[in-house]
Chains A and B, each alone.
Chain A
Amino acid sequence: MAVKVFFNPASPQEAVRLMYEQPGRGAYLAGGTDLLCSPEWPDFVVNIRGLLATLAQEAGELVIGAAATISRIAAWQALSEADDGLMQSCARGFASEQIRNMATVGGNLASAVPSADFATPLLALEAQCVIQAPEGQRTIPLEGFFAGPHQSVLDRELLLKIRLPLPSAGVRTEFLKIGRNPGDIATINVATLLELECDKIQKARIALGAVAPTPIRAYAAEEFLAGKPASDENIQRAADLAREAVQPISDQRASADYRRQMSMVLTRRALQRCLGRNQ
């Protein structure tokens, strides 16, 4: 129950080394908003708060330090300009002011809950995860990061940063979420991204959360839209395909039926909003 040792590593490498070398159950601690809510605390924590908080614009991509807080991401103008405000919109509906000042985007992903709010926009943006292992760094696409409910592919490795390839100029995005009240854990969330050329959809990305064991992409819907005119019929067809991609459960927040139906409704709405059709 009780945390016995608190480590303050000076570098990510040291953090990972501690995690591998120390006996007992350890955990990385950044914002604390997930870890300190869990009923069973680790034997030791490795504090990475403030260690991986850099936000950087590099060649052709944006790089988010895993321990950057949600508040800082929401205020990062380069990001909102590049992603048409997708991440900012997600941040706005995230928990509360206090939690946004503490919680980190890396923590949101690493906890690997199916409803993680930042998973869907980052899936839609085709994010890459940079992971620090004892033997060095590796990079994997976010699509391959989630293994199941509360399970990521990380063993004791550390999620270092998230790399976002810059979307093409003029990209349109939307994030929608249903919760029981503002800032709630998502009953369902959806992020969509469209690249358009003369009313034709060049590229579509559709990601859904809280409707499957992990956050998912609706590949069939994305493929269907590629190269098609942005007609209401095509949008509806894509939304129907998104609905077929989900495998939701029933819980205290909503039934599987409701989630299934909302997969369609929110996907359609998000895509229509990307097209400037306000629904």
Chain B
Amino acid sequence: MSLRTRETIKLKLKINGEDNCFAILPGDRLSTVLRREGYLSVKTGCYTGDCGTCTVLLDGQPIVSCLMLAAQAQGSSLTTVEALAQGSELHLLQKAFLDEGAVQCGFCTPGMLLSALALLRRVPHPSEEQVREAFSGNLCRCTGYERPVRAVLKAAAATEESSK
């Protein structure tokens, strides 16, 4: 008996709150499918999970979408950076990144924003060390991480202010 020829799989998942159904191949990486379907904030820089530019939130947790087959994400809920801004109003984190000069080339920025978002949801007022640990899987070759770390701390402080 030989293997069946490849069949497409119907992948149902929620992305940024919207239900989606994509036709995928069994060996498609999640990052490949997301980019193909227009979620271009998901970058790819290594396909080995080292750079973190393909970070997305899977059921709220940051993962690298290059090391997951899309078929494994069946029925789950994803968040990409496209979800952050409300219309033309940027998310606090996005504003803080721009205020602090945390964006240079911007290629790692979506992944960093999502790692930061997951952290702030879990720990609204993180220590600097916690912010750095949240970036442990996001390589950045431009900034030296100092400005992104400050941006997250600033966004956290701003959240505190606005919730008072």
Contacts and interface: CB of A to CB of B under 8 A. Distances in A.
Direct contact of A and B (CB under 8 A): yes
Interface of A: 2-6, 8, 22-24, 29, 31-33, 36-37, 41, 43-45, 47, 49, 71, 95-99, 101-102, 182-183
Contacts of B63: 98, 101-102
Interface string B114-152: 010000000000000000011011100000000000000
Nearest to B72: A49
A33 B26 contact: no
Q: Is the interface of B mostly helix, strand, loop or mixed?
A: loop
Contacts of A43: 3
Contacts of A182: 136
A1 B90 CA distance: 42
A44 B48 CA distance: 20
B115 A97 contact: yes
Interface residues of B, number: 35
Given A6-B9, A98-B63, A23 B49 contact: no
A9 to B, nearest CB: 13
Contacts, number: 99
Given A29-B72, A37-B48, A41-B27, A2 B6 contact: yes
Contacts of A33: 49, 67
Contacts of B134: 97
Given A32-B68, A98-B62, A5 B3 contact: yes
Interface of B: 1-7, 9, 25-27, 29, 47-49, 52, 55, 58, 61-64, 66-69, 71-72, 74, 115, 133-134, 136-138
A5 B2 CA distance: 12
Contacts of B4: 4-5
B68 A3 contact: no
A31 B27 CA distance: 15
A4 B52 contact: no
A47 B76 CA distance: 15
A95 B134 CA distance: 12
Given A47-B71, A98-B55, A4 B5 contact: yes
A71 B118 CA distance: 14
Contact of A96 (B7, B47, B58, B137): B137
Given A36-B29, A98-B115, A182-B136, 8 more contacts: A3-B27, A32-B67, A36-B49, A36-B66, A44-B3, A96-B49, A98-B62, A101-B61
B133 A3 contact: no
Contact of A102 (B9, B52, B67, B74): B67
